[in-house]
Amino acid sequence: MKWTVHGRRTLYESEWVNLTLEDVEVAEGRRLEHHVIRMPRQSVAVVVRDDAERVLLLWRHRFITDTWGWEIPAGWVELGEAPEEAARREVEEETGWRPGPLTELSRYYALPGISDLRFTLYRTDAATYQGDPSDPSESTRVEWVPVADLRELIDKGQLTDGPSLLGLSLAIAFPPPGE
């Protein structure tokens, strides 16, 4: 059954996130108030691979969960910016590497039960070093990590974020034709 929205009240609004309380009708006419996190911008994430079977990862701290972990480059799409442009910009800003041709892997909603946060995932099999990352606050270090080591990082709890787990899984499970 499709839920019907009868009303929406904004509880909080910023350029980063909006929180609404929505009056929705579910099965058999039952109504409830549902909190919804609305994101003003969509996000992108990129799996950068090289010919040595490695992926480019960032080691970073996330204060919200108070955890350290490895992540693929990711970020917001700015107003008027195409997702592919944002993906290129984010890789270079966060890692100092300029990605080669990008292939779209997937578009998905990260938490569709509570949020409209949308990601577009990309893959590239080439990157050219440009220098230090332009935004050093993005990570403590940037490293090329062997694909063979990813399972161990997951088991150690060092690779836990959704965009990285999904992006790496898709990039490895569905290699480009001829690979």
pLDDT digits (tens, 9 = 90+) for 40-71: 999 999 999 999 999 999 999 999 999 999 99
Distance CA 147, CA 55 (A): 6
pLDDT at residue 15, as a whole number: 94
Is the CB of residue 167 less than 8 Å from the CB of residue 119? no
pLDDT at residue 179, as a whole number: 60
Tokens of 140: 């403590």
pLDDT at residue 80, as a whole number: 95
pLDDT at residue 104, as a whole number: 96
pLDDT digits (tens, 9 = 90+) for 12-45: 999 999 999 999 998 788 999 999 999 999 999 9
Residue 163: Cβ within 10 Å count: 20
Residue type at 112 in one-letter notation: P
pLDDT digits (tens, 9 = 90+) for 75-125: 999 999 999 999 999 999 999 999 999 999 999 999 999 999 999 999 999
Distance CA 137, CA 134 (A): 9
How far CA 55 is from CA of 13, 49, 150, 157, in Å, comes to 36, 4, 9, 18
pLDDT at residue 175, as a whole number: 77
